């Protein structure tokens, strides 16, 4: 299985209303390739993969194929509160 497919499979496990981080995803895959995870997610255009639910380890929104505004909009629709482009990880973090 390709690295990107493994990433997408993990993203599908993140429930609505929760987020995970590039670090959490990469650790679950047994690697420290945080940037590779981000790059794979940024290139994803499949609606079945909720890659909008993956953010940085400080709670900030970053790269998304459809843009940051769309990422924020999608997260808000799932009930996630975003303040100053940041999400409270204590409240919304999903750990695998």
Residue whose token pair is 């505004």? 69
Count other C-beta atoms under 10 Å from residue 40's C-beta: 23
Question: Strands, DSSP E only, in the chain?
Answer: 20-21, 54-55, 82-83, 86-87
Active site residue 51: yes
Note whether 31 and 41 are within 8 A (CB).
no
How big is the chain by its Cα radius of gyration, in Å? Answer: 12
- Residue in 7, 10, 51, 75 annotated catalytic: 51
Active site residues: 51
């Amino acid at each position: 299985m390709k690295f990107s497919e493994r990433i997408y499979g993990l993203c599908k496990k993140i429930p609505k209303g929760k987020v995970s981080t590039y670090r959490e995803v990469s650790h679950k895959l047994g690697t420290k390739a945080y940037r590779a995870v981000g790059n794979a997610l940024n290139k994803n255009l499949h609606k079945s993969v909720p890659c909008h639910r993956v953010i940085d380890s400080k709670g900030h929104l970053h790269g998304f194929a459809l843009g940051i505004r769309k990422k924020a909009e999608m997260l808000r629709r799932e009930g996630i509160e975003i303040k100053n482009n940041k999400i409270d990880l204590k409240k919304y973090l999903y750990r695998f």
